[in-house]
Every structure is written in structure tokens, then in C-alpha cells.
Structure 1
Amino acid sequence: MIKILSRYVLSAAAVAIFLLIINFTVLAAWLFQSAREYGKNYTINQMADGLTLSNGKFSLSDPIATELDQHQQWAMLIDGKGSVIWNRNLPSDVPLTYTLTDVAGLSRWYLRDYPVKVWQYRNGLFVVGDPKNSMWKIGLELPMKTMDNSRFWVPLFLILNLVTAVILALLFGLRLFLSLKKLTTGIEDLAQMKPVSLPSQGILGDLASGINHASAQLIRQETALNKRDNARTTWIAGISHDIRTPLSVIMGYAGQMEEDKALTREQQELAVIIRSQCQKIKALINDLNLASKLEYDMQPIRKEEIHLTPLIRSLAADVLNSRISDKHTLDILIDENAQNIIINGDSQLIRRAITNLIINSMKHNPDGCDIKIRISSGSKTALLSVTDNGSGFPPQTLERLNQPLEPMELDNHGLGLTIVRQIINVHGGTASFSNPAGGGCRVILTLPVLPL
């Protein structure tokens, strides 16, 4: 706001200075052009010098005579007794004799409405007249002290003009500033989802009304979204609670049926399938709860300093010992500069995110694939990539993973990878999903590192 006001005032001052310069330039050009139009190649004293006396007869030089003729001027010479002793182009209504009073009048102003100029000549008074109504003459008398002080007063006058222009611009800009300040406050409140009610009068009234309307619309949308999200969270928590108890009973009976020798082998295998599918349902319920809590900041994050390399090695060992099949391989590559990376995070959630990526590669490549985990160090970040050479992400799934429209997307790939994205986000990092040119899929996670 201060920048806007200062630029407004400086712009107004610059415009004022520019206009002063333009005005002075135009005035000077106008005066110069007027002088050129008026004239003459010769001044009054040069014309007087062109008049010579020879053998008792006055004659005017040809250039001066031509100058008078071209500009319809006339000239005369008055002797000491007040009589005209020489003239050229003298109008008929101009007298030929003059008193001392007449000479005093014409020497400054007009003679019979003819603008005249006079010059002291050695034989009298040399007079040059212009056509009637061709010149405007004004008398100006200033004390010498005033002229001497003009070197101080003229610059001071210009400075006062500039200060006045700045003050006026400041006063006019203050009203705009106050209006903009209200709008700025309204926009800040709008960004924080606070109700906004700005006065709709003044030059920016239309804009204020638009902000008020946008605020009301956003409040309505926020209320509707909160209502929907609360309903979804409540539904997930309720359905999870309601499913766990019968699911535990089913898993318990299925476990007993697996061990019941009275059942046939086929019946025991069906019990194994029942228990396995119940475990999947239980895992899905846990994922739903975790995703919901992460989305709405309900999951407690227990952050601590974590040495990333040992954590990934431990996780890989657990996967190799318990979950990986003979059709899949898991390799870890750690760059030299990433051996001592330390991050601030929740070790259980980080393990969950990496485990989900490994399980996702195994789940969607049942015929086998090679999984590689690589840790490298970027600028103030740790880069952790999980890559496989399997079938890759479907295009639609890839687009939803990188540009999610909904916080929780439940498709074939979605929930486990959504949890990965949420875990990395709550740690201040990013997750990007891609299909490399050579096939398979790649997930790159970036996490901020602590300084060593």
C-alpha cells in the first residue's frame, strides 16, 4: 500500500515538473516564433544607422528600405524643433510637427494607434512605426532590488509549485489509499476464510461488492465442505468400528477351521482363503482410517531425528524376510553423499510409506519384477526413489496421483499410494509418480533434511 501511494505521489510530482518544463518550452518557442514573425532582420538602432545625411539630403540604405516595405512599416526623423525632416512610407494621418508632450507619448506607446519605436538619432529622433493593430505594447517597471532578488525567488517559486503539486497529489491519493487499505484487509480476511463485509460506496465500490460476494460464496462452500468431510470422517470411523468386531469373529472361526482335522483339505483351504480375505478387509479399514486422519490432521505425528539410511535398510530386511516372493527382487542403492542423511519425521509413517510402494509393485506385478530403492542427496533435501520394471501406472491413475482432485481416491492403485502422498506431505515433502521410458513405474519422494 505504501508503495502504491509513494508511486502515485511521485508520478503526480513528475507530471507537474514535466508540465512546467513543457509550459516554459512552449512559452519560449512562442515568443521566439512571435519575434520571427514580427520580424525584422534589423533592430531599431540598426535602422537608424542606415539613415545617412549627404549633401543636406537624407537617404536610407537599400536593405533597410526593403525591410520597411516588406513589413508595411514607415519611418520618420523628427528634429530638435519637433518637425519631421525626413520620412518614408509615412501614413497621411501622421502629423508632421510635434510638441515635447507628443514626443514623450509616442516614445513609449503609440502614435495615432500606430505602434512605434524610437531611437535617439544624431540629428533628432528616429521613429519607426508598424501598421495599426499589429502590435500589443505593455509597460513593465520593476525595482532593481526585485530583479536582484529574482535569483532567489524564482527557484523558490518553482519549489513551492512542486511541493504544492506533491501535497495535492498526496491529499487526492489518500482517499484512494484508504479505499485500497480496506480492500487489502478484506482480501487478507478472504484468504483466511473470514467473513468479509466491505462498504460498497466510493470509487472502488464495485470491487468491494465483488469481494463481499466472493466471501459469502466461499463461506457457503466451506460450510458445505466441512459438513461433507465431517460426515465422511464420521462414517469411516463408525463403519470401521462396526466391521472390526464381526470381522474378528470371522477370522477367529476361520483360524479354527484351518486347524480342524475333521474337515477335508479342501474345506481347510477355503478357511485359509476366508481368513486371508478378512485380513485384506482389515488392512483396507486401517488404511481408510489412516488416510482420513492424515487428510484432516487427526493423526498424531511423533517427529524425531531419523537417520534415513539405516531406516531403509531395516525396512528392506523386514520385507525380504517376510513379504517378498521368489518372483520379486529388492535392491538398495545409496549414494556416497547420502550415507549420513538425517530427517525430522515419524519413523513409523515413513516406514509405512515405503512399504506401501514396495507392496504396490509386488501386487500389480504378480508374475514378478525387480524393485530398486535409491537414496540420494539434493539441495537441502533427501531424494528417495522406488522403481520397478513391471507394468507401470495406467495413464488415468498416473494423472490422478500427480494432480489429485479429491483427497482420497479409491481405485485399484489409489488408497495405498494416496497414503504415501499424504505421509510425505505432512513431513513437508513431495511425491511424484511417473512411468520411465524403459517401462515400469517410479515414485520419487523428497524430504527436507536436517543440517549436519
Structure 2
Amino acid sequence: MKSMMKVLSRYVLSAAAVAVLLLVINFAVLTIWLFTEKNDKNYYSIRQTADQLTFTKEGYELTGSGRDQLERNNQWAMLLDPAGEVIWNYKLPADVPKSYSISDVAGFSRWYLKDYPVSVWRYDDGLLVVGSPKDTMWKLGIMIPQKSMDNLKFWIPLFLILNTITAIFFALMLGLRLFRSLKRISNGIQDMAEKRPVSLPINGVLGDLAAGINKASSQLILQETALNKRDSARTTWIAGISHDIRTPLAVAMGYASQLEEDEGLMKEQKDLAGIVRRQCQRIKDLVSDLNLASKLEYEMQPLRKEQASLAPLIRSVAADMINDHISEQYTLEVSVSDNAQNGQLLGDKQLLKRAVSNLILNSIKHNPEGCDIKIELSKDGENFILSVADNGTGFPKEVLERLNELKEDVDHKEGVDYKEGVDYKADVDHKADVDHEKGTETDALKEQNNHGLGLTIVCQIIKAHNGSTHFTNLTGGGCQVICYLPALNS
């Protein structure tokens, strides 16, 4: 609303300024034109005629240059004596009298003589009259009181002020019509941004624009409906697959475990059974992660937020990792700054633990030769800064770019299309390739990409807690994931 009022005020002021400027320009042009016409070089001054008229023994005589100038301007002239009689003339029209009374002289001096515009000049022996052709000059006699002229310095500014007010008034009337149309357009755009249906009237100056907005709104509603339908179907499908796969997967894992522990089998056969069991476990974890990622993406995962101390939670996850997952080639160090020791946040403890464990497991899984993992927690103003870093192989360049793109998607979109965004290494075949001759997993399996879904879940969990995630490689080797989480005020 404020922006619309700003547009209206600027429109009104601009229109008023243009109107006043045009008024001033027109007045100036009119004044210049009048003075230019009055002093036109083709206008022959009667004074010059008087200077060219001389008295000789033969009578009054006009010099040659004087006659040429009268001829050039198609003018005539006559000289009246004190009695009003014509004592000399040059090309006097036939319908012009040769004798005049005082009242006649007073009349044509101010106006016209037989419709001829004339000028008069006091001459030594009488009155010199110079006339021009009919309908060539316009004479206007104006008498203005001196008091009125003195008051012009007051009336001219008042005139400009009144004209400015009038211009603003009419501009405001026209602007209000435009304002009402723009307000409807603005409200329509706002509704469209908030995914509400828009139906604007298509009459008026902005009718075409309103029709375009209506069409765009209809298309957006259709797209939103189609996307919701697709997302709902995908979520339902993932949930169904997750449920249906558990029973056969549990059976396969059970038989694989029995075969792996069967003393009657050869070592090579036991190894193959172990590979089957581990891949079944991997499928189980993948399905669980996929189900969780889908729920987080569409905000179907209920968040049980409560006040929680982040430092003890991180230590608990690290202790569980040391007890259950970490072998001798890995070291795990936890460092908590003083200002973060007692800090709390509002969050879901289980999901936060899942995020921290995913980050640690990411370093373990992708550094099979071992690495040092360091977890640091600090507090900067209103945010916790959680850093999980290792000195392993780090992220490949294309992986790092994809992870940060994924992070941007999670930060700025309502959901991520996992078909396109989850697995940053799409051309890696995720089959559990087994070298049956040797009974060992192939290099392709060892390099199998598990970053995508686990780190996607990390991004989604942090985002669900109004935080952000950043992925980077360290200069000396290894990688670092930094999570920013809002802390509760003390």
C-alpha cells in the first residue's frame, strides 16, 4: 500500500510540474513573439518617413529612399495641416478623405481610418499619417491603471499558485483512477505470490495486464495442483515400498546371517553370505533414509521440538560412534567452546542426533584407510556453529559443487527432487557388484556413493531447525561441513 501511495504522489506531482512548466513556457513564448512582431524588421517606422519628408520651393517632397521603403511595405502617407486639410500625400487611396475634424483625427489615431490601420506622427507643419493595407495590422488600445501594474508582482505568483493547485487537482483525479487499477494489479500479484487464485477485472487501461495476470495465476494453480498430486503420489509410493520391503529384506538378512555362521560352509561361501547380509543392511538403511528424506521434504515428519543442550547431545553421539562403529584407524575428537557449553536450542533431539551421526558416518565411509575426525561446537552471537571436519580425501570437485547446489535447493525451495538431486554421482552403478570368482566386493562397490542421501538429510534437518549448512574442502586435505543453528536467548 505504501508503494502504491508513493507511485500516486509521484504521478500527481510530476503531472502538476509538467502543467505549470508548460504554462510558463507558453507565456514566455507568447511574450517573445509579441515583442518580435512589434519590432519586425519589415515594419517601416513612421519616424523614418518623417525624417525622409522635406519642404522645398516646389512643396513637400519625399526622398527616393523614403518612397522605396513605402513601396516595399505597400504603404501610403499623407500630411495634415493644423486645420485638418491634406497638404501632401503619397499614393493616398481614393476612399480616404482629404479633410478631417479634430474628432476624426482622434478616432483614427487610436483605431482605424476607413478600415486602414494607420500610425500618426507629429510633424513640424502638422500631423503625418502613414497607412497600411486593410487587414494587415491589428490595433488594440489598452489602458491599465498604474495600481494594477504595481500589483502584478502579487498577482503573477498567485496566478501560478492557483494554476498549480488546479493542475494538481486534475492530476489527482486522473491519478486516483490509475491508482485503483494499480491497486487491484498489486493485490493480484500479492495473491499470486501467496499461491491464491486471482481473478482481476479486465476492463480499463490496465485490462490487458490484468488478463495476463489472471492467465498466469490459472497456470500456476494448475502447476501447483499437478506438483502436489505428483509429490503426494511419490511420497505414498516411497512409504509403501519402505513398508513392503521390510519383510523380504529381513528374511534375506536372516538366511544370510545363518549361512555366514554355518561351520559346514567353505570360507569363500561364508564371505559371499556376508556380502549379501551387508548389502541387505545397506538397502535397509537406504530405504529408511529415503523414507525420512521424503517426509522431511514435504514436512510430513513431525518435529518434537523441545529445549535441548547441544553440547551433551554431540558428546552422546560421539560416544555411541566410538563404541559401535569406529575402528582403530579412526580418531574422533569433540571440542566445545566455553560459550557453547550451557547453550540451548529449540529442536528435535532425535533428528539432531541423526544429523550429527550422518556427518560422522560420512567421514568414516568415504575414508576406508582411516582419518581423524574433529567435531567442534561454538557459539557466535545468536547462532551455534557446529563443524565436523576430517583430514581424509575430501570431496571431489564435482561432488562439492553438487552438495552446495543441493544445500541451496533445500534452503530456497520447499522440497528437493530426489530423482535429480539426491545422488550427486548419478553415473555410478549402485548395484552390489560381486567378483564371484574371488568372493570379494569390487572397487565400484567400495566407491559406492552414499554421500547424497545422508547429507541431504543433514541439510533438511538443519533447515527444519531454521539453520543452514555449508560444505567445503580444507586446504591441507580433508573436508568440513559447517552447520549454523539458532540458539535460544539466555
| Superposed pair shares fold, TM > 0.5 | yes
Q: Verify: 1:441 aligned to 2:451, yes or no.
A: no
Which has the bigger relative contact order, CA under 8 A and spacing at least 6? 2
Q: Verify: 1:407 aligned to 2:417, yes or no.
A: yes
Q: Verify: 1:284 aligned to 2:322, yes or no.
A: no
Q: Verify: 1:24 aligned to 2:27, yes or no.
A: yes
Match of residue 184 from structure 1: 186
Classify the secondary structure of the residue corresponding to 1:403.
helix
Separation in structure 1 between the aligned mates of residue 173 and residue 187 of structure 2, nearest angstrom: 21
Deviations 1:33-55 (A, max 9, x none): 223316889897x99999999xx
- TM-score between both structures, scaled by the size of structure 2: 0.75
Identity of aligned residues (%): 59
- TM-score between both structures, scaled by the size of structure 1: 0.80
Give the CA deviation at 1:95. 5.6
Separation in structure 1 between the aligned mates of residue 109 and residue 68 of structure 2, nearest angstrom: 24
Match of residue 34 from structure 1: 37
Give the CA deviation at 1:233. 1.3
Separation in structure 2 between the aligned mates of residue 327 and residue 352 of structure 1, nearest angstrom: 23
Q: Verify: 1:390 aligned to 2:392, yes or no.
A: yes
Classify the secondary structure of the residue corresponding to 1:186.
helix
Match of residue 427 from structure 2: none
Deviations 1:395-439 (A, max 9, x none): 444343222474324432211011011111111122233344554
Answer whether contact 1:40 1:67 (CA < 8 A) is retained. Answer: no
1:351-370 matches, cutoff 5 A: 351-370=353-372
Bigger Cα displacement from structure 2, 18-27 vs 103-112: 103-112
Within the candidate set 408, 412, 417, 2:455 is matched to 417
* Cα distance change, pair 77–237 in 1 and its aligned pair in 2 (3 A): same
Match of residue 413 from structure 2: none
Give the CA deviation at 1:333. 5.0
Give the CA deviation at 1:342. 4.1
Answer whether contact 1:257 1:263 (CA < 8 A) is retained. Answer: no
Separation in structure 2 between the aligned mates of residue 32 and residue 306 of structure 1, nearest angstrom: 89
* Cα distance change, pair 151–43 in 1 and its aligned pair in 2 (3 A): farther
Deviations 1:63-110 (A, max 9, x none): x9999999787776645422457x7x8443466542123212221023
Answer whether contact 1:387 1:443 (CA < 8 A) is retained. Answer: yes
Give the CA deviation at 1:356. 0.8
Matched to 1:425, the amino acid is K
Q: Verify: 1:198 aligned to 2:208, yes or no.
A: no
Deviations 1:132-171 (A, max 9, x none): 6553212345678876776666555444433333333233
* Cα distance change, pair 18–337 in 1 and its aligned pair in 2 (3 A): farther
Classify the secondary structure of the residue corresponding to 2:92.
coil
Within the candidate set 223, 226, 229, 1:224 is matched to 226
Deviations 1:250-304 (A, max 9, x none): 55566666777x6558476666555544433332222122111111111122223
Give the CA deviation at 1:222. 1.7
* Cα distance change, pair 68–314 in 1 and its aligned pair in 2 (3 A): farther
Separation in structure 1 between the aligned mates of residue 457 and residue 219 of structure 2, nearest angstrom: 31
Bigger Cα displacement from structure 2, 175-184 vs 436-445: 436-445
Answer whether contact 2:468 2:485 (CA < 8 A) is retained. Answer: yes
Separation in structure 2 between the aligned mates of residue 355 and residue 119 of structure 1, nearest angstrom: 114
Give the RMSD, CA atoms, in angstroms.
4.2
Match of residue 214 from structure 1: 216
Give the CA deviation at 1:58. 10
Give the CA deviation at 1:199. 3.1
Separation in structure 1 between the aligned mates of residue 459 and residue 417 of structure 2, nearest angstrom: 10
Separation in structure 2 between the aligned mates of residue 208 and residue 396 of structure 1, nearest angstrom: 45
Classify the secondary structure of the residue corresponding to 1:8.
helix
Separation in structure 1 between the aligned mates of residue 75 and residue 184 of structure 2, nearest angstrom: 70
Separation in structure 2 between the aligned mates of residue 198 and residue 241 of structure 1, nearest angstrom: 47
Q: Unaligned regions of 5+ residues in structure 1, if any? A: none
1:22-421 matches, cutoff 5 A: 22-37=25-40, 78-83=80-85, 90-93=90-93, 97-118=99-120, 125=127, 127=129, 129=131, 134-140=136-142, 155-251=157-253, 263=264, 266=267, 273-332=275-334, 341-378=343-380, 380-404=382-406, 406-408=416-418, 409-411=421-423, 412=449, 413-421=451-459
Q: Unaligned regions of 5+ residues in structure 2, if any? A: 410-415, 424-448
Answer whether contact 2:12 2:168 (CA < 8 A) is retained. Answer: yes
Answer whether contact 2:473 2:479 (CA < 8 A) is retained. Answer: yes
Q: What count of residue pairs does the alignment treat as equivalent?
A: 447
* Cα distance change, pair 424–47 in 1 and its aligned pair in 2 (3 A): farther
Classify the secondary structure of the residue corresponding to 1:385.
strand
* Cα distance change, pair 379–118 in 1 and its aligned pair in 2 (3 A): farther
Answer whether contact 1:79 1:124 (CA < 8 A) is retained. Answer: yes
Bigger Cα displacement from structure 2, 248-257 vs 419-428: 248-257
Give the CA deviation at 1:114. 4.5
